Amino acid sequence: MSATSGDGREPAGDGSHLAGDGPQLVTIGESLARLEGPAVGPLRHARSLDLGVAGAESNVAIGFRRLGGSAAWVGRVGEDEFGRLIQMTLAGQGVDVGHVVVDPAAPTALLIKERRTGRLTRVQYYRSGSAGSRLSPQDVPEDLIRRARVLHVTGITAALSYGAHAAVHAAIDIARAAGVPVSLDLNFRRALWTPAEAGARLKPLVMRSDVVFATEVEARLVTGGADASALAAGLAALGPREAIVKRGALGAVACCDGDLYDEPALPVETLDPVGAGDAFAAAYLAERVLGRRITERLAAGACAGAYAVTVQGDWEGLPSREDLILMRTTDDVVR
């Protein structure tokens, strides 16, 4: 039987005691095929669509991998060309897809992305009854999670279905029992549930996590606070050792072991804001696994987010380790 702390949470370490040849980061969720217009404007006028891959959890896996870590993505895809595209793309980026379930009875989900103006991006999902929404606790690979250095989950998966919600908690159960830190990005999606529903289900996940990422709007779903600092402190008060509130162009605020940190954003020209939060989380977790200080983790997150927004696509602009070094050694900004 594992020990518990005074508040009933099983302790999770930093993962440094773990050994083995498994991936350092394990993440679980739904990836989608992405269709988007090649230019700014109403999608109805597009004569062609670009095909790609999207998904918060797989974005983080790719970002973590590009920064030198090893990562695995766990999920379900349909037995179709979109599902094959997702597996091929992630494997091509060095992400372990050996535990992906191919579902012959449900299609791979689809995301339609429209750049309505140079600053406004609209997204529409076709994921009802998708293979990813059929995720269940039986799909969660216990041994893979037990050998990881960090488990990363999001509120998106918890919102997809009862089975997917149960799968997230099953993965957390395994991680906590093994002393593997749990990372959670709230990632609220209005298309999946109401703010009240999200708050009720996300709060228990926050309480069981060691690292939490949220925007100010998302943080207010589960805690109170007049500003980002208060929101970060409010999230941390629920249990996580590290709570990070992302503020876009205003940077990020973190509460780590009771101390507050403020990290400014880097000034860049934004082309596509989608995926910036995933880039931030990937870089933060990559530095965390390396044992970097909180200030270094936040700086890496801000740098990765800056790179991400300057490139079209959800994950295509995620930086390498060399990119992070370049940003720190030049007075120029990302172009």
Encoded tokens for 29? 């969720």
Per annotation, catalytic residue among 278, 314, 323, 331: 278
What b-and-e string marks burial along 301-334, b requiring 16 or more CB atoms within 10 Å of the CB? bbbbbbbbbbbebbbebbbeeebbeebeeeeeeb
Q: What pLDDT score does 248 carry?
A: 87
**DSSP string of 113-152?**
EEE-SSS-EEEEEE-TT-TGGG--GGG--HHHHHT-SEEE
Residues linked to residue 254 through DSSP beta bridges, in sequence order: 244, 261
Q: What pLDDT score does 331 carry?
A: 60
Cβ neighbors of 162 (< 8 A, separation 6 or more) are none
Whose CA is closest to 235, among 265, 213, 262?
213
Encoded tokens for 316? 């295509």
Q: What pLDDT score does 61 carry?
A: 98
Give the other-Cβ count within 10 Å of 119's Cβ.
10
CB 76 within 8 A of CB 100: yes
**What is the C-alpha end-to-end distance of the chain, expressed in Å?**
54
Q: What pLDDT score does 330 carry?
A: 61
Task: Name the pairing type of β-strands 182-185 and 101-103.
Answer: unpaired
- What does the pLDDT look like over 87-144, one tens digit per residue? 999 999 999 999 999 999 999 999 998 888 767 778 889 999 999 999 999 999 999 9
Helix, strand, coil fractions of the chain, as percent rounded to 5: 40, 20, 40
Listed as ranges, residues in the chain with pLDDT below 50 are: 1-20, 334-335
SS3 category, 142: helix
How remote is the C-alpha of 34 from its chain's centroid? 17
Q: What number of residues does the chain have?
A: 335
Q: What pLDDT score does 37 carry?
A: 84
Cβ neighbors of 320 (< 8 A, separation 6 or more) are 66, 67
Report DSSP state, residue 159: H
Whose CA is closest to 171, among 275, 244, 96, 72?
72
Query: Distance (Å, rounded) from C-alpha 234 to C-alpha 310?
Result: 32
Amino acid letter, residue 257: D
Per the listing, tokens 């050998």 go with 147
- What does the pLDDT look like over 145-186, one tens digit per residue? 999 999 999 999 999 999 999 999 999 999 999 999 999 999
Catalytic site includes residue 278: yes
Amino acid letter, residue 80: D
Per the listing, tokens 């995620």 go with 318
Whose CA is closest to 180, among 316, 44, 10?
10
Whose CA is closest to 306, among 321, 317, 295?
317
Report DSSP state, residue 208: T
pTM > 0.85: yes or no: yes
